[in-house]
Amino acid sequence: MANQSQLQDVLNKQVANWTVMYTKLHHFHWYVKGHHFFSLHEKFEELYNEADAALDEIAERLLAIEGQPVSTLKGSLELASIKEAETKAPADEMVKEVVSDFKQIIGELKEGISIADEAGDDVTADMFTAFQEKLEKHVWMLNAYLSK
């Protein structure tokens, strides 16, 4: 049976992941180049706005269950499974990296849903399920873009 501490850890890892994703998506938004600049520039902006909302929702849920969300960039980078963008990659590589990161987060959300269910926290399980649904749709659409 999962306990409150395990659930808080799962939530906090997602706070860290979404903090890193928010910054990474801004990086891609600013540095994307090429024929698909306009569509990808706009898409990355949509995704970083979504990341911002996810980050806030998860952090507030963690606070509601008496946890303490990581709130520094250093702490987020140490805790996250997502890595920050380190280079100015070609546009398709940026999209591939976002797909990979979203798949990583989806896997962790699935684990988080199980832990939340075991802890009897339907609210967190439902929140993670909603994020999983959004990310799966993004992965599908971004993969469709890549299969030109």
Query: 85-128 pLDDT, tens per residue?
Result: 988 899 999 999 999 999 999 999 999 999 999 999 999 999 99
Decide: residue 45, CB within 10 A, 0-12 exposed, 13-18 middle, 19+ buried.
middle
Percent of the chain with pLDDT over 70: 98
Q: What is the set of domains in the chain, with CATH numbers?
A: 4-146 (1.20.1260.10)
Most distant CA pair in the chain: distance in Å?
51
Can you tell me the distance from the alpha carbon of 88 to that of 132, in angstroms, rounded to the nearest whole number?
Answer: 28
Predicted TM-score of the model (pTM):
0.95
Q: Which two tokens stand for residue 62?
A: 């963690």
Rg (CA), the chain: 16
